[in-house]
């Protein structure tokens, strides 16, 4: 794989990461926010794989599996929270959770 | 047998606990008997332990009951150190306390708080025993504070009268100044040695840096002068006479006030390791107090005030003894003084009791005819304190003077002058109370008015005192003095016996006769001033002391019985008012002192409180501003995480060079 191609993957990874980050910051729908977090995680996964290939190091690819597992677990917890919230207050946004502030 | 040592303080404690819970129900006089028996059993135990102590190596025995304060390197045990010094103290404290308890049953008869009196007395004896038996400074301090508190309770025992209550407060507050010194000394000791146990730090003291030792000795001395009423903290003791007379005898003459002397003797290796001006200072403070108090005692009219100032003066002798390196002489005088001064106070109590609470010597006289036992025992006490051979005071005072002469002739001369004054004022007391004309009863009314006119120069409060009594007596006619009952007379007789013979504990003629010296050898031996009096010098000193004592008695005889000199030429207002020390303090504290303390209070309010409140206000203000960033928006937190991550990465980039 040429270095140009690697660079392109890394650029894509950075763009996805920024899209995810901005999404988390500006969207208020909790479901979309979770998806954005997933997007960020996968952007990082992409960069891991790319670096693993560039440096010829298998550990870059192994760690991706760990990230996926953690992401899956995180989604489970996150979706459970969202469902619980939606049941209690249908249509509530992440900002409405401000009432939980001490 | 020595293992029973814990029982010595435990018995008065048990007595105290019984009386504090059931005292009221037990009532008079059984509460008094319980208190007396508790202390008497303690004395018996002390005798048993004493017999057992002969078998111990170096006559020393240590018993640790349990660990009291474990805190890292610092650990304090409830433990007892029984050595020749504490044994001697325990024996005479419990012995005299038993007698005074017995006496109190008679003296306090009819008092509405009779059981409470014995509650306090038992607590006092317990604290005093903890003080002398404690094997570390902290435990000694516990006893030290305990006796201080009991002293306060008992001085203010008849608190219905304002003077008594404020006398109690005066004693307590003055003692606090000394206690501060003691506490600082404890801190310093722990800082210097890492332990406060006597047997651990005292052997190490010769290696101590001189400045550290000097500081510790100085602070312990501050503690000692507070408890033992030396210049400048002696002012509380004369006022402490507001308490019942047995209290004056037990606490303010025989035992508690000697705690300071005990403490200094106990830490003698520290004094030895300190700068050479420390012993000098102790000696000078001692002799100055002895002299000053003796001059004041010459001009007092209240029988208990004379004895109070006399106590201050005798304590001054003990400090002199410590300062000149005569530790055994100090203990010797402490023991003989405990006997004869307790005797004198109890005798005075018997007189006061017989005269229906009259304390003014101007209304006494010729009492030996109506109170024969009191008179005879009192006269023995008088001869002992005046230093007439072969009574006990002669030997102990002379022992101190011998050490003083060894240190410096000036101390010796002032000591002799004080001895002369002592003989004089004690003879004055005896002649005015037991001899001469009876100034009580109907015929005395006219003479009293006369006397009052003479003594217009006197302290204002003593005049008021006299007025009250006049009014009281006008009501029910004349006073009829009577002899006291047996519980009061037995202690007098026993104490008189010891006041007469206690001098034989330590006769200076041959080494073998110095029983007390030899007994205390393991404790003070190394630091005791060592010299040999030749036979000639010894005889000369003894003869000189005797002459001085007889001279003082003769002078008092000429003045007060033969009326060759007008007493008013000797009883100067300056002395009667105690060198105006109390008045000066009042004036100072009312004026400049008050302003100064107000300034300090201001400093406290503005700077100290200001700093504390300022910290609080700053925290509060900062927090309320910081609260703004915790706004509850998830996206805001996410942004903060992002910003934080960027900052960390940026920081790492600046630190790492590629």
Tell whether B627 lies on the interface with A, counting CB pairs under 8 A. Answer: no
Q: Does residue B476 have a pLDDT over 50?
A: no
Q: What is the mean pLDDT of residues B554-568?
A: 86
pLDDT at residue B454, rounded to an integer: 47
ipTM above 0.90, yes or no: no
Does the pLDDT at position B592 exceed 80? yes
Residue that has been written with the tokens 């309320």 in this structure: B624
Please tell me the predicted confidence (pLDDT) of residue B465. Answer: 44
Q: What confidence category does residue B283 fall into, taking pLDDT thresholds of 50, 70 and 90?
A: very high
How far apart (Å, rounded) are the C-alpha atoms in residues B371 and B379? 12
Q: Is the four-CA dihedral B107, B111, B115, B119 of positive or negative sign?
A: negative
Band (B470; pLDDT cuts 50, 70, 90): very low
- Using a CB-CB cut-off of 8 Å, the residues of chain A touching B631 are 98, 101
pLDDT band at B478 (very low <50, low <70, confident <90, very high): low
Which pair of structure tokens corresponds to residue B392?
């006990």
Give the model's pLDDT for residue A102. 62
Q: How far apart are the first and last CA of chain A?
A: 53
What mean pLDDT comes out for the span B184-199? 92
Mean pLDDT, chain B, rounded, equals 88
Q: What is the pLDDT of residues A14-66, one digit of tens each?
A: 999 999 999 999 988 889 999 999 999 999 999 999 999 899 889 989 999 99
pLDDT band of B578, cuts 50, 70, 90: confident
Looking at the partner chain, which of B633, B639, B642 has a beta carbon nearest the beta carbon of A95? B633
pLDDT at position B57 = 84
Q: Closest Cα to residue B76, out of B4, B134, B7, B128? A: B134
CB B113 within 8 A of CB B154: no
User: How far A21 CA sits from the closest chain B CA (Å)?
Assistant: 9
**Region of poorest pLDDT, from A56-70, B65-79, B144-158, B209-223:** B65-79
Q: Does pLDDT of B317 surpass 90?
A: yes
pTM above 0.80, yes or no: no
**Nearest residue of B to residue A100 by CA position?**
B632
Contacts of A14 in chain B (CB under 8 A): none
| pLDDT class of B658 with cuts at 50, 70, 90 | low
pLDDT value for B376: 93
pLDDT bracket for residue B451 (50, 70, 90): low
- Averaged confidence pLDDT in chain A: 90
| Distance of residue B645 Cα from the nearest chain A Cα, in angstroms | 13
Main-chain phi, psi angles of B79, to 5 degrees = -140, 155
pLDDT of B333 above 50: yes
Q: Which of B638, B640, B645 would best serve as a mutation to test chain A binding (most A beta carbons within 10 A)? A: B638
Range with the poorest average pLDDT among B190-204, B273-287, B473-487, B561-575: B473-487
Q: Summarize pLDDT for B319-329 with one digit per residue, the tens.
A: 999 999 999 99
Cis peptide before B654 (omega within 30 of 0): no
Cβ–Cβ under 8 Å, residues B97 and B150: no
How many angstroms separate the CA atoms of B278 and B225, rounded? 14
pLDDT at residue B466, as a whole number = 44
Among chain A residues, CA nearest to B628: A101
Residue B97: partners with Cβ closer than 8 Å, 6 or more residues away: B39, B43, B121, B125, B128, B250, B255
B635 contacts in chain A (CB < 8 Å) = 24-26, 28, 94-95
CA distance B182 to B263: 10
Confidence at residue B472, expressed as pLDDT on a 0 to 100 scale: 42
Query: Could you read off the pLDDT of B62-78 as tens digits, one per residue?
Result: 988 888 888 888 888 89
Summarize the confidence of residues B518-525 as an average pLDDT.
85
Q: Is B635 on the interface with A (CB under 8 A)?
A: yes
Distance, first Cα to last Cα, chain B: 83
Average pLDDT over residues B272-279: 92
Of A25, A97, A99, the CB nearest to B638: A25
Say if residue B33 is exposed, middle or buried (CB neighbours under 10 Å; 0-12, 13-18, 19+): middle
Q: CB distance B634–A100 less than 8 Å?
A: no
Q: How confident is the model at residue B508 (pLDDT cuts 50, 70, 90)?
A: confident
- List, for residues A74-89, the tens digit of each pLDDT value: 999 999 999 998 898 8
What is the C-alpha to C-alpha distance for residues B374 and B439, in angstroms, rounded to an integer? 18
pLDDT grade for B110, boundaries at 50, 70 and 90? confident
A9 pLDDT more than 50:
yes
Largest CA distance in chain B: 117
Question: Which among B631, B632, B639 has CB closest to A25?
Answer: B639
The rounded distance, in Å, linking the Cα atoms of A11 and B507 is 109
Average pLDDT over residues B224-244: 90
Number of DSSP helices (H) and strands (E) in chain A, helices first: 3, 0
pLDDT tens digits along B377-410? 999 999 999 999 889 999 999 999 999 998 899 9
CA distance, residue A58 to nearest chain B CA (Å): 24
Three-state SS for B134? Answer: strand
* pLDDT for residue B455: 47
Contacts (Cβ under 8 Å, ≥6 apart) of B555: B424, B427
């Amino acid at each position: 794989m040429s270095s140009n191609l690697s660079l392109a993957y890394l650029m894509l990874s950075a763009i996805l990461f920024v899209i995810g980050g901005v999404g988390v910051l500006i969207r208020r729908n909790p479901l979309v926010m979770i998806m954005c977090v997933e997007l960020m995680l996968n952007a990082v996964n992409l960069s891991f794989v790319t670096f693993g290939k560039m440096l010829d190091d298998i550990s870059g690819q192994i760690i991706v599996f760990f990230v996926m597992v953690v992401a899956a677990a995180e989604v489970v917890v996150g979706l459970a929270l969202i469902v619980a919230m939606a049941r209690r207050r249908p249509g509530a946004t992440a900002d409405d959770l401000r009432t939980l502030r001490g | 047998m020595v293992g029973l040592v814990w029982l010595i303080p435990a018995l008065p404690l048990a007595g105290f606990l019984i009386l504090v819970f059931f005292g009221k129900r037990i009532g008079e006089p059984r509460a008094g008997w319980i208190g007396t028996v508790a202390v008497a059993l303690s004395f018996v135990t002390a005798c048993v332990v004493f017999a057992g102590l002969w078998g111990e190596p170096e006559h020393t025995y240590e018993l640790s009951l349990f660990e009291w304060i474990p805190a890292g390197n610092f650990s304090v045990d409830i433990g007892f150190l029984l050595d020749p010094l504490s044994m001697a103290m325990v024996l005479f404290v419990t012995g005299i306390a038993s007698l005074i308890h017995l006496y109190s049953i008679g003296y306090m008869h009819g008092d509405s708080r009779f059981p409470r009196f014995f509650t306090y007395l038992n607590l006092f004896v317990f604290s005093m025993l903890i003080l002398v038996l404690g094997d570390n400074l902290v435990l000694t301090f516990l006893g030290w504070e305990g006796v201080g508190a009991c002293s306060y309770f008992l001085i203010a025992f008849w608190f219905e009268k304002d003077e008594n209550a404020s006398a109690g407060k005066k004693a307590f507050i003055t003692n606090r100044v000394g206690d501060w010194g003691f506490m600082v000394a404890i801190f310093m000791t722990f800082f210097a040695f890492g332990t406060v146990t006597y047997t651990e730090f005292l052997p190490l003291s010769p290696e101590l840096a001189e400045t550290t030792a000097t500081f510790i000795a100085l602070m312990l001395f501050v503690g000692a002068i507070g408890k033992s009423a030396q210049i400048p903290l002696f002012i509380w003791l004369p006022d402490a006479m507001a308490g019942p007379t047995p209290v004056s005898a037990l606490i303010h003459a025989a035992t508690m006030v000697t705690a300071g002397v005990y403490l200094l003797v106990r830490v003698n290796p520290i004094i030895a390791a300190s700068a050479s001006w420390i012993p000098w200072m102790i000696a000078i403070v001692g002799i100055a107090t002895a002299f000053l108090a003796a001059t004041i005692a010459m001009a007092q009219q209240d029988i208990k005030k004379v004895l109070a100032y006399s106590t201050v003066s005798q304590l001054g002798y003990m400090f002199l003894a410590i300062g000149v390196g005569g530790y055994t002489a100090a203990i010797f005088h402490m023991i003989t003084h405990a006997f004869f001064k307790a005797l004198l106070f109890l005798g005075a109590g018997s007189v006061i009791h017989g005269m229906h609470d009259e304390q003014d010597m101007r209304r006494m006289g010729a009492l030996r005819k109506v109170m024969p036992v009191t008179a005879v025992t009192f006269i023995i006490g008088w001869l002992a304190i005046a230093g007439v051979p072969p009574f006990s005071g002669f030997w102990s005072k002379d022992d101190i003077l011998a050490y003083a002469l060894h240190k410096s002739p000036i101390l010796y001369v002032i000591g002799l002058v004080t001895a002369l004054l002592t003989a004089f004022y004690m003879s004055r007391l005896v002649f005015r109370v037991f001899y001469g004309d009876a100034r009580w009863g109907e015929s005395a009314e006219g003479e009293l008015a006369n006397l009052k006119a003479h003594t217009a120069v006197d302290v204002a409060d003593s005049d008021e005192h006299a007025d009250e009594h006049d009014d009281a007596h006008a009501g029910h006619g004349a006073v009829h003095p009577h002899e006291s009952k047996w519980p009061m007379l037995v202690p007098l007789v026993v104490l008189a016996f010891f006041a007469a013979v206690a001098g034989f504990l330590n006769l200076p003629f041959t080494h073998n006769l110095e029983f007390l010296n030899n007994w205390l050898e393991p404790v003070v031996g190394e630091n005791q001033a060592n010299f040999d009096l030749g036979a000639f010098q010894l005889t000369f000193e003894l003869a000189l002391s005797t002459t001085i004592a007889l001279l003082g008695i003769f002078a008092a005889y000429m003045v007060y019985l033969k009326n060759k000199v007008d007493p008013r030429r000797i009883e100067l207002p300056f002395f009667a008012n105690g060198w105006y020390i109390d008045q000066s303090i009042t004036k100072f504290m009312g004026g400049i002192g008050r302003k100064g303390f107000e300034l300090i209070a201001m400093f406290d309010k503005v700077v100290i409180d200001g700093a504390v409140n300022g910290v609080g206000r700053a925290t509060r203000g900062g927090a309320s501003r910081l609260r703004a960033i915790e706004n509850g928006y998830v996206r805001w937190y996410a942004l903060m995480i992002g910003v934080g991550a960027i900052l960390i990465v940026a920081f790492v980039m600046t630190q790492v060079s590629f």
